[in-house]
Amino acid sequence: MSDDQRFGLARSITLPGPLRLDSGAQLGPIDISYETYGTPADDGSNAVLICHALTGDQFVASTHPRTGKPGWWPRMVGPGKPIDPERHFIICANVLGGCMGSTGPGSIDPATGEPYAMRFPVITIRDMVRAQAMLLDHLQIATLAAVIGGSMGGMQVLEWAATYPERVRSAVIIAAAARHSAQNIAFHEVGRQAIMADPSWRNGAYYADNVVPSAGLAVARMAAHITYLSEAGLTEKFGRRLQARPENPYGAKSFGFDADFQVESYLRHQGISFVDRFDANSYLYITRAMDYFDLAEEHGGLLANAFAGSPTRFCLVSFDSDWLYPTSETREIVHALNAAGAAVSFVELSSPFGHDAFLLDVPELNRVVDGFLRAVV
């Protein structure tokens, strides 16, 4: 196996389309950027699709080309890890609407020769999955040994199992929900309004001179990042400790509006670093797709209908400190799967990290995923 195959091979494909969207609009041609790890089996039986979360991308276990940092899930993906390129042919694609090479609002509209910006059609989670299915058709992958994802990635996994049940042998859904709650929609709206209130946003037409709405996007990221953490985790990491400064390394109140507290400095850093790698319009479109997600609504108002007769084996994981997608919402999915007669296993793990636990060092998560995949793949 070559180093490229082992550690990630970046690819991009233009598919002619058109892709008919849930909104009724049609989109095409469509660019999809993706990474692969490992080698496909001769019979195609070892393909594993990883679906990324809102602010993720295809660089799941390899160096990010913009930030130079490691991929977003190296704890789960790699040699000797639960998702192993020695055993699996791993695919991770930047979602439709994204900003790392897949067609999104920053892409060139072939009809005008200019970026789509806000002319880009509104998309849904199901539209993202349909685009991924087009990619797999191009790769001649008829069925997937597993589809795996956390957060918005878990929503895509649920949509895969509901829309293409015959193509999904197993599904791993981590820290996700079958619909976005009113609270989650509210947090997203705060972020979108922060972006659209930035004078540099200019109704989304900021690409020509590259003056981006960085202040609004940074605030959106700060607000969202709070929801990914837990109170216990924030207290343990920061508490009310003051930020050290060169003139006072022990910390002191400025009696102003500088970042006096360590947690303030942390959030500002998260916001500023996010602007360097993400597009503001993509943030608008992807958060809207998440808000529209309601799997039961797509299937006559009854979630169990989404999985009727499903041949897929499911593994669901939640975290006890996750208040963004709490365990109660995972249990709703489990109950629906039970009602549909689907094969399902479920575990709630303990972690102080909140929603972000699926990205962080939680050894028990690795054991759960590894055990499940070895039993089904």
How distant, in Å, are the alpha carbons of 83, 230, 296, 358 from that of 52?
A: 14, 21, 22, 12
User: Hey, which residues are catalytic here?
Assistant: 151, 322, 355
How far apart (Å, rounded) are the C-alpha atoms in residues 350 and 368?
13
How far apart (Å, rounded) are the C-alpha atoms in residues 279 and 118?
12
φ/ψ of 107, rounded to 5, equals: -80, 160
